[in-house]
Structure 1
Amino acid sequence: MGCCSGRCTLAFICGMQLVSVLERQVIDFLGYQWAPILTNFLHIIVVILGLFGTIQFRPKYYAAWLVIWMTWNVFIICFYLEVGDLSRSDLVLTFNLSMHRSWWMENGPGCRVTPITPPPSWAPEDHRYISISDCLMNFEFIEVAHSSLQILLALAGFIYACYVVKLISEEEDSCNFGFVTSHIWELKV
């Protein structure tokens, strides 16, 4: 197979997915978003296995996982855009263990963070209350952009994984086993 074969392209897409999900994992760790941390970790494992599967001509399971991964990212987009009954104030992404905060909320491009003093009397002592202003882009749209990139990479990976699976099955179907068995039979006689 040449350098621009389906397997090489799929390996490149796996590498791009690995880099982008590692960046996303770090950002989610900084924001204490436990559900995305776990799914990102699973995706990292599956992409590594998918990379090995691509090398060994077995990307079927990787393609199946990509459908689940795209579904998860569609959920994240709907969550941040508050589609339907979803609300960013829900603690879904943190398993109700901590306050949900996207790291981008305070650290987005151009954002200015000002602590609110004194904090409200009802506020727990371990939480800080802040005011955020002057952001060039809202954190919701940054999170949506991250998920959209993941969907595009997963879609490209899915298409190439299906293409590689098709090529592998065509190569297996074109193998002439009758020719091989007739020569083995002639050697025994």
Structure 2
Amino acid sequence: MLDLSFPWPIGPVPIALTAWATYGLYRAILTRDGLTWVSAVSILGVVAFLAALNVHIAKPAFNLFFVIMLAQVLGTAACFLLAKLLWSIKKTKPVQLLRRQANRKLLSGIAGMAGFLLVMDGAFYLFPDAGKCEHFKDYMADKCAAQELFIGIHDLPLVIYFCVLLGVPALVALILFVWLMITTAGLPMADESNTEGGVGA
């Protein structure tokens, strides 16, 4: 029988956010608006919840760090696939001319995203049980238990939810920065057209 007693492994707040994200994704598909900031956030919210739900149902016996890495990689792939779907059904696709960005900007973006992933995943690797309520006493224990009523139990499903929610955008940005650096290597610089337009005027 389904146990609905509180606290839930994935609390009411993530569930409510996922419901909003599902509606946003449905609306983006229905209106064929394509990939917007709202639909991108909706994709991320749905993917994060699905990852946490799968972990809760499957209860993998693997190492926590391996599960986090796998969830982030698969979550990134799912985000790219859903973004591609939204782009393919977009009503009017604008013509996008790729221009080469300054290598310094792209390299700093790559370093920033890689550093963020390293710090976040490293913290989960070094302190896997840091947020669990049994580490606290008295007031802090009550506060942690109250937090679990809204967010969910501090266990693997919730860890995966936040790791995907925070880690996938950084991994997506990292991949896009590398892709931009490779695909625009021989193209004119992004600000060259502005300079030429100013000279011609």
TM-score by length of 1: 0.34
Greater CA radius of gyration, 1 or 2?
1
> Larger RCO: Structure 1 or Structure 2 (Cα < 8 Å, ≥ 6 residues apart)?
2
TM-score by length of 2: 0.32
Whichever structure has more helix as a proportion of its residues is: 2
